[in-house]
Structure 1
């Protein structure tokens, strides 16, 4: 039986009518956000005080300056260097007895100006030793697979950035650029014990951030930043919610926990993301004020690498740029991140060209995965090691019909 288009068309018409009503509500909420940004310095100070005293069920951004501040594009250096990494992985196949995984890191070094040059490489590393397959502490251990493998890949991306920055000759202003967030959110999960956090975050990720920071000297500038395309974050909008909260201080659980969504005083801002807000505030090339993230993992572990962020309007989108505190607190490094990222977006038709190239070096296709698994089995067989598979794995490789 074919699709009943008459009945379907009526449902589509209902959907369009509903979306039109939602759009009117959306514009009302967006205007409330814009009104919240148009406050006096005294009102902003009261907001900052309320941020510190309030207990919310959503993540707040702590403004490091007047929230509606707008910064023009700094002057682009005549010569400079961009370092970028990205990664992908082939996870452990639990249906194979030969347990291993692979992390592939794409590395890009681009130099612009008087002596332009480019270096692009792909660096795959296979992990198969027993000590590679788990993170352990005494008799306790956790298998490196799934989400944990993704976190380890992020650590490896940062390690490679650190190595590239260290190996690069001084003299050129340098931006070390990553893709995605600097905050290892996944480690907040209760499934990861403290020894795993210590291993990957404290003794790994933060150590590499520290190495990059320490490269900065009188004769050397190395800024660190990460680029998030089309962010869905609402940290800044969440902070503005406190302007519409009648309670002093705000306490979401004790005051509004029993209220349905849409019934809370601050729901006048619901459905609005930070990027929607700053798309109305910024012009192409401009960046927003600086904000500090209030994530608990930052407060507990990051120290001088505490993550700040700003929003940047490129020719194509509103991007979120995250930076460690030591980049933010140095005006030269902060301006370097702004000017170089925007130029990278211009060269990459809306997205940083260095990250695009790093992704191309790192990506592992579906065919790559099949060939990888086939190579593992063939080499094990050639060495007279039985690469036995589970019944489920064999079933997938067998045509029954």
Structure 2
């Protein structure tokens, strides 16, 4: 049955009216939250958000490095510079196809600005069909294996994007400052709470991700390279939760109390309840002028903290690009280098201004990588034709066939 647009419109109208009635309360709570958060001194903020101090709380709070809140203006970008970005798209293993396989398409661009402007676009598809590419095997017992599909395939693709980006940066001349950009997060959130065996985590993080990130860091002595991951319209609450940790006057036991304690997004205790329902971007929308960034924070994600090397620990800041508040993640070797940090800030801002609110390089990389519905159908047809040409079975499931030929 098709969507009842009339009923949907009525429900949307009721929902937006309800949101409007709550808007005044949100604005008052935000003003109160900012007022009390501004009174938290740097020492208290750093102490209260240390992992050892906050790990008993039922929410993920960022670790404050300098101050809880604040703003930092951009520097002028250099006259000549390059930005490189890589994005990816994939066709997952499909049980309705006669062959177990997946396709990863990596696309990217290298854009040079200044006295000698240039643009290079590239893409590279890779078909994986052999067993060693379809499964992650336990080195201690090859009979134990994890299929590379779903979220695992997504993480493998993310690693390949960084590997391809590192390759492109290595090929750049050493005389220009370079911004290396990826879309999304540097934290492998897919490994959090999924119950994967340790060999899966090691194969993704230790064997490949850390090595890819190290390739960027190792270039710094000979090239001015800054690496960043750009998250548009982020839904993170790590800084809001850091404020909760700083303001909370209650014992830790109350925070974890099943009846009166805190949840991941809200608290029923005062003054912690001031932050209830807010995202980090809500806070920084109120305090960051256009072009300015927040202080740099360290994520307390267990994935980064436990499994990333020291120099690749993930830090982040928020940036007002004019049209939105974006989250920018950087590894520690960038976060602790004021020159590289400022370079990334200014160049990302320049990219967003050129791209009407979103980095041009990531947009172009996406265009080179994206696989639309037509591409996916052509891939299936090519696979079937290749099998038929060799006299191999090219069947599909009856469920898949029924989708193509509906009865009504």
Provide TM-score, normalisation by structure 2. 0.91
Change (3 A) 1:200 1:246: same
- Indicate whether 1:314 and 2:324 are aligned: no
Measure how far apart 1:262 and its partner are: 5.5
Match of 2:64 in 1: 63
Match of 1:27 in 2: 27
- Indicate whether 1:124 and 2:125 are aligned: yes
Partner Cα separation in structure 2 for residue 371 and residue 14 of structure 1: 43
- Indicate whether 1:110 and 2:111 are aligned: yes
Match of 2:156 in 1: 152
Q: 1:211 aligns with which of 210, 215, 226?
A: 215
Measure how far apart 1:13 and its partner are: 7.2
Match of 1:295 in 2: 301
Measure how far apart 1:32 and its partner are: 2.6
Measure how far apart 1:61 and its partner are: 0.9
Match of 1:264 in 2: 269
Change (3 A) 1:379 1:192: same
Alignment of 1:194-233 (within 5 A): 194-217=198-221, 219-233=222-236
Match of 1:282 in 2: 288
Partner Cα separation in structure 2 for residue 12 and residue 211 of structure 1: 49
Alignment of 1:232-251 (within 5 A): 232-249=235-252
CA deviation map 1:2-48 (0-9, x unaligned): x998x99997776555323311221122113211331153xx32233
Partner Cα separation in structure 2 for residue 290 and residue 240 of structure 1: 14
Partner Cα separation in structure 2 for residue 248 and residue 335 of structure 1: 39
Contact 2:40 2:246 in 1 (8 A): no
Change (3 A) 1:70 1:368: same
CA deviation map 1:270-289 (0-9, x unaligned): 11111111111111111111
Q: 1:187 aligns with which of 188, 191, 201?
A: 191
Measure how far apart 1:95 and its partner are: 1.3
Give the match's secondary structure for 1:344: helix
Change (3 A) 1:259 1:111: closer
Give the match's secondary structure for 1:85: strand
Give the match's secondary structure for 1:171: coil
Which consecutive unaligned segments of at least 5 residues does structure 2 have?
none
CA deviation map 1:74-112 (0-9, x unaligned): 121011111100000001111122111100011111111
Change (3 A) 1:337 1:259: closer
Measure how far apart 1:113 and its partner are: 1.4
Partner Cα separation in structure 2 for residue 82 and residue 13 of structure 1: 43
Partner Cα separation in structure 2 for residue 158 and residue 268 of structure 1: 39
Partner Cα separation in structure 2 for residue 280 and residue 181 of structure 1: 24
Change (3 A) 1:287 1:12: closer
Change (3 A) 1:17 1:356: closer
Partner Cα separation in structure 2 for residue 318 and residue 176 of structure 1: 20
Deviates more, 1:76-85 or 1:21-30: 21-30
Which consecutive unaligned segments of at least 5 residues does structure 1 have?
none
Measure how far apart 1:243 and its partner are: 3.6
Deviates more, 1:347-356 or 1:251-260: 251-260
Give the match's secondary structure for 1:308: strand
- Indicate whether 1:82 and 2:89 are aligned: no
Change (3 A) 1:10 1:346: closer
Partner Cα separation in structure 1 for residue 61 and residue 247 of structure 2: 14
Number of residue pairs matched?
Answer: 395
Contact 1:73 1:286 in 2 (8 A): yes
Partner Cα separation in structure 1 for residue 60 and residue 388 of structure 2: 52
Match of 2:47 in 1: 49
Partner Cα separation in structure 1 for residue 103 and residue 392 of structure 2: 20
- Indicate whether 1:140 and 2:144 are aligned: yes
Change (3 A) 1:392 1:161: same
